[in-house]
Amino acid sequence: MSQAQNPLETTQGYAPPTVTQFSVFLDNRVGRLRSLLQAFSEKPYCRLHAVTVHEASDHAVVRLITSDAAGAIVTLREDDFAFAETEVLVVEIADHCSIAGMCAALVGAELNIQFIYPLFGLTGRAPAVALAVDDPTLAGQILRRKGYELLGESDLAIS
């Protein structure tokens, strides 16, 4: 006789706060990056907090983090920019924390860092970095235990 299993059993886990990163595809033409940045400068409700450019010979991929993900989607669609969305961790680097310590904690857990870049314009906050890793949930748990603060979309909103 087999034992019945309860299909409703679940385990609740920790889900770290994440922030939406936009990867915008641009033709490598004079003025395209300016056009992208200008589109956001005309939207005061959607401030840029991070911009990084990865260029190839015929195109560039621009990674952006904004204060308003929904507003960024509207802006990108209105101006016909091709983009993709990815959830990333945003880690505050306070006085008692360091980027090297953060990397050491993640390497100790055998987590691969896919990319990392700084954020700017976080009024009243310590410096922060955007971080993409293999397992954001595990990374979030580890970093919180090590004293790092993880920021979410609401922490980037314009007040």
* Claim to verify: residue 52 and residue 112 sit in the same structural domain: no
pLDDT tens digits, 34-53: 999 999 998 888 999 999 99
Report yes or no: 141 and 14 within 8 Å, Cβ to Cβ.
Answer: yes
Quote the pTM value.
0.86
- Contact residues for 31 (Cβ-Cβ < 8 A; gap 6+): none
Residue 2, pLDDT > 60, answer: no
**Domains: count for the chain:** 2
Please state the φ and ψ torsions of residue 123, each to the nearest 5 degrees. Answer: -60, 130
Structural domain boundaries, residue 45: 19-87
pLDDT tens digits, 97-121: 999 999 999 999 999 999 999 999 8
- Measured distance between the N- and C-terminal CA atoms of the chain, rounded to whole angstroms: 62
Percent of the chain clearing pLDDT 70 (strictly above): 91
- Predicted confidence at residue 4, as pLDDT, reads 47
Higher pLDDT, 5 or 53: 53
Where residue 70 sits, what CATH number does that domain have? 3.30.2130.10
* Claim to verify: residue 101 and residue 149 sit in the same structural domain: yes
* Claim to verify: residue 69 and residue 93 sit in the same structural domain: no
